Amino acid sequence: MLTLIRPGSTKGQALVELAFSLFLLMLIFFGITEFGRAMYLTNALNNAAREGARRAVVSNLSDGKLNEPQLQEQVKGYIPFDTTGIDVSIEPKTPVSSGTPVSVTVTLPFQPIARPLFNALSPDIFPEDFKLTGHASMRYE
């Protein structure tokens, strides 16, 4: 038996409204989740950079150079998640004297979980080379 929908009928209206509103709600939910995740990762990178800078400025220099590979591994040890792809840079490699600033920068490529959802709106929201950075600078003692 075939039933015809009369003009002015509201059958299916709730389903269409749900489809539009559900997309917006999911977009807001995943946006808040990704922002919180990015803030957590940035905070962890800043803490690791600060600890690395502190270790660099209180270390005893042998032959006037920082042991950069060892310091990079120590910085990665302060990061509470997978350290694949993390780049640690320390400047300068050779602190000249007491009071010389030592900077540690930790960079992580950020891969949003909800990238396909955001790319449906615009591919420029999260570019492929989006990176999070933590930075700390202290004076050599």
Instruction: Tell me the pTM.
Output: 0.75
Domain-located, residue 56:
yes
State mean pLDDT over 5-20: 76
Q: Token pair for residue 44?
A: 């962890």
| Percent of the chain topping pLDDT 90 | 16
Statement: residue 23 has pLDDT above 60 = yes
The per-residue pLDDT for range 34-84, each reduced to its tens digit, is 899 989 999 999 999 999 888 888 776 655 566 777 888 888 888 888 878
Domain-located, residue 3:
no
Domain-located, residue 120:
yes
Please answer whether residues 113 and 26 qualify as being in contact, where contact means their C-beta atoms are separated by less than 8 angstroms.
no
Domain-located, residue 94:
yes
pLDDT of res. 45: 93
Write out the residue range of the structural domain in which residue 102 sits: 15-139
Please answer whether residues 112 and 118 qualify as being in contact, where contact means their C-beta atoms are separated by less than 8 angstroms.
yes
pLDDT of res. 44: 92
Cis peptide before 95 (omega within 30 of 0): no
Q: What are the CB-based long-range contacts (under 8 Å, 24+) for 85-90? A: 85/109, 88/52, 90/52, 90/56, 90/66
Statement: residue 132 has pLDDT above 80 = yes
Closest CA to 110 of 27, 41, 31, 48: 41
> Based on the structure, what is the number of domains in the chain?
1
Half-sphere exposure of 117 (CA within 13 A, CB side): 15
